[in-house]
Structure 1
């Protein structure tokens, strides 16, 4: 979600910085990049190490609320091509799941603002025991959709997210935004979702499945 569907990573970074500075600490852009795509509890533990004297779940709740307020004030900055691709997928009858490490309530807030019924399933960070980069969130989403994970395509902008998608054996497409995705065995890397449609996803899926079948011979 954050960084693939919506450009909320700057909101999270601002919230982290403000929280750390309220405890007298400092937080650089480079440090903030380390949290992109992380599970929120894992990120909270890192923030504790940076001087935030709060419980991990308290930190998660505080950051989530700060970002929700920012979204209410400034609106939801959708990434180029994301809503258009979702619309085309839905029009084609293709089932979709949102797999995010943000809390479910945050995901539901954003999904409600898309403007159409975009997802069949939402898996939030508080819905799984093991967050990305473990494959569990994607496996859970595929199970909820009632499909084989090998029959899915995942779109990811973060390194931890892409690792999760690759480990789950989806057809994993990286769409880098704030961090680079090289060297993670993505099945494809796209510069942007702008101009991409169902045919592009189907083409990548067919190519990767054929290559995997040949490799298995």
Structure 2
């Protein structure tokens, strides 16, 4: 019986070493051959997609307030812990263009649904020369439904901390390619990726179950476990 290889996704880069969702962190994942990068996208007031996790800048920069209330030029003035600016999606895509690394783009639309974010982002991705098709994920199902209307051939994955009932039917009716779950669920013939796993024992268990992917804050450590 052949099993799929579990892919290790660098969750927001490598937060154990470098600021999360920073270009330095993403460059590190490329330089050290991570299987994939997981990153988050919001829209500024002037509709520029930026790579940051929270709806506010307070936790990860020296600024404060909501991303949606700032023009991109204003947002650029805030610094991450390493002095870098919040990356634009354009800058991120330039960094990963032609690199042999998979991308998991999370639409952060579960608190605010930024108007037209899906079309803006997917158009930028389409113009970038990437080695692998982008995996799009969100906690907000309507974002993924919108993506499907834009491109029926895309890979859309629903993020949830909850148990998914009638998973195969749920995926079929919502045109999902996979589920991104907080806890493993026994599902046959399903692309299942688990977040966010940093405990080596938990990683070992998931690797034995041959899940499609693991999101982790330390992809190098997880890769060591995988190679054991």
TM range (shorter): 0.3 to 0.5
Q: TM-score, normalised by structure 1?
A: 0.35
TM-score, normalising length: structure 2: 0.34
